[in-house]
């Protein structure tokens, strides 16, 4: 356990998604006082959106004692199968995910975003007093020794720093941009370029449990992870770029599902086959944004997760990137507080600068890869089609394992939390120092 840190230092975390809640655990382990502000009336709002947790993220959950508690919700991926939406023809099938799991001592696990949030929230110490719902940020006032946050209900929260993990339409980021420019920003870093459906369904004949299916075609990609009794799906298609937040109705969702009814999502399964087995309470139609911010912090305000870098769900890396960034931010805050119990704004900014410097290479690269991948599997250009159809099937699984493995190997860890690593074939680059 970490050494004591000063009781007068208080972090305000804006956003109770997976990244914000993991950060709350990390600060709790560092004995740092904090509060989480969630604008909606409940933390438990997401049900059907599936997430992929890679070994380096599962290692972070293991370090804070949550891995074994999460296992019951996992759908473990072993195989990746690529096929065509037009006829269900399999163009490639490899044991990609099992190879990665064997190499890094943790599996690749699918579960719903709601299950991940519930895991983090229900196991958070003092959650009733630490997490405030219905707490929407109106304004942020920077002060010499801290920040003052005005909420829409008229109340005020005061702290030493503010961490914005409030998603792609981050209110924190909007205010930070205004403070940096001293005028309302005329650019919006996040642009919706795709939309689609996601949901959870009862597994059916035609799917092999433990397989991640990726079905591609011109202007469409379907992805799903299937377990013994349930599966999660996401289907994406390009749209005209927009920076406007869009909420789709149930009628919009059902209309799109009807349009997609005949695409092949498995070798012998059409989308209409799983839509009939989908729990409609978990299904939604959403826009998927892409974007990257160059400015991650200003004075005592810092951003993390989708608030600062966002790719579509096609890579399955979004929540992994955000949680690993949160670990780095927690490490830098812990180091700062050990050397300067009541840190100046300069010391805080130095910590934020180190955090951004450590995370920028990976976050920027993954953002670029994400943009390239979604366009490649939806055949945006003839070159994308040519590569995906005739080059990709011949790329050896060992090469792909090597590329993804390097990302996993560089996974972060909370330096100040005691932890005994599992034996791995490929050593981790980062280890606890506690």
Residues with a catalytic annotation lie at 223
Q: HSE on the CB side for 407, CA within 13 Å?
A: 20
Q: How many residues does the chain have?
A: 434
Q: HSE on the CB side for 106, CA within 13 Å?
A: 28
Which residue in the block uniquely carries the two structure tokens 């799917």?
207
Distance from C-alpha of 277 to C-alpha of 332, rounded to nearest angstrom: 46
Query: Residues with Cβ < 8 Å from 296, sequence gap 6 or more?
Result: 302, 303, 304, 308, 352, 355, 356
Distance from C-alpha of 26 to C-alpha of 119, rounded to nearest angstrom: 14
Residue 253 buriedness (CB in 10 A; 0-12 / 13-18 / 19+): middle
Beta strand ranges found along 207-365 (DSSP E): 211-217, 220-226, 230-242, 264-266, 269-270, 284-292, 297-298, 301-303, 309-310
Structure token digits, residue 394: 């011949």
Distance from C-alpha of 191 to C-alpha of 174, rounded to nearest angstrom: 14
Q: Does residue 373 contact residue 379 with C-beta atoms inside 8 Å?
A: no
């Amino acid at each position: 356990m970490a050494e004591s840190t000063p009781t007068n230092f208080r972090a305000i975390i804006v956003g109770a998604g997976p990244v914000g809640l993991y950060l709350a655990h990390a600060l709790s382990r560092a004995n740092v006082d904090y509060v989480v502000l969630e604008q909606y009336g409940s933390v438990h709002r997401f049900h059907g959106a599936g997430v992929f947790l890679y070994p380096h993220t599962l290692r972070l959950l293991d370090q804070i004692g949550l891995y074994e508690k999460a296992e019951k919700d996992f759908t473990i991926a072993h195989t990746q199968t690529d096929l065509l939406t037009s006829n269900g023809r399999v163009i490639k099938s490899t044991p990609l995910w099992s190879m990665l799991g064997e190499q890094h001592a943790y599996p690749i696990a699918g579960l719903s975003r709601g299950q991940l949030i519930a895991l983090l929230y229900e196991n958070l110490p003092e959650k009733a007093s630490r997490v405030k719902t219905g707490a929407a940020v109106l304004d942020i006032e920077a002060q010499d020794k801290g920040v003052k946050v005005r909420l829409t209900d008229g109340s005020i929260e005061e702290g030493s720093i503010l961490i914005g993990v409030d998603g792609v339409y981050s209110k924190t980021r909007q205010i930070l941009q205004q403070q940096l420019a001293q005028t309302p920003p005329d650019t919006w870093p996040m642009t919706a370029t795709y939309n689609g459906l996601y949901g959870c369904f009862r597994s059916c004949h035609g799917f092999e449990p433990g397989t991640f299916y990726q079905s591609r075609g011109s202007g469409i990609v379907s992805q799903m992870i299937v377990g013994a009794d349930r599966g999660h799906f996401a289907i994406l298609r390009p749209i005209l770029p927009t920076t406007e937040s869009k909420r789709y109705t149930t009628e919009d969702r059902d209309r799109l599902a009807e349009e997609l009814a005949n695409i092949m999502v498995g070798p012998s399964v059409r989308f209409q086959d799983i839509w009939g087995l989908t729990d409609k309470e978990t299904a939604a139609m959403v826009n998927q944004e892409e974007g990257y911010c160059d400015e991650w912090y200003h004075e005592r305000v810092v951003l993390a997760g989708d608030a600062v870098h966002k790719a579509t769900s096609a890579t399955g890396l979004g929540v992994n990137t955000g949680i690993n960034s949160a670990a780095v931010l927690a490490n830098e805050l812990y180091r700062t507080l050990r050397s300067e119990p009541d840190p100046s704004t300069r010391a805080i900014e130095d910590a934020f600068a180190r955090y951004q410097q450590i995370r920028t290479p990976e976050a920027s690269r993954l953002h670029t890869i994400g943009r390239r991948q979604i366009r490649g599997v939806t055949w945006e250009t003839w070159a994308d089609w040519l590569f995906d159809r005739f080059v990709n099937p011949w790329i050896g699984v060992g090469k792909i394992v090597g590329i993804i493995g390097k990302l996993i190997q560089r996974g972060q860890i909370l330096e100040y939390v005691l932890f005994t690593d599992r034996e791995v074939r490929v050593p981790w680059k980062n280890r606890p120092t506690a």
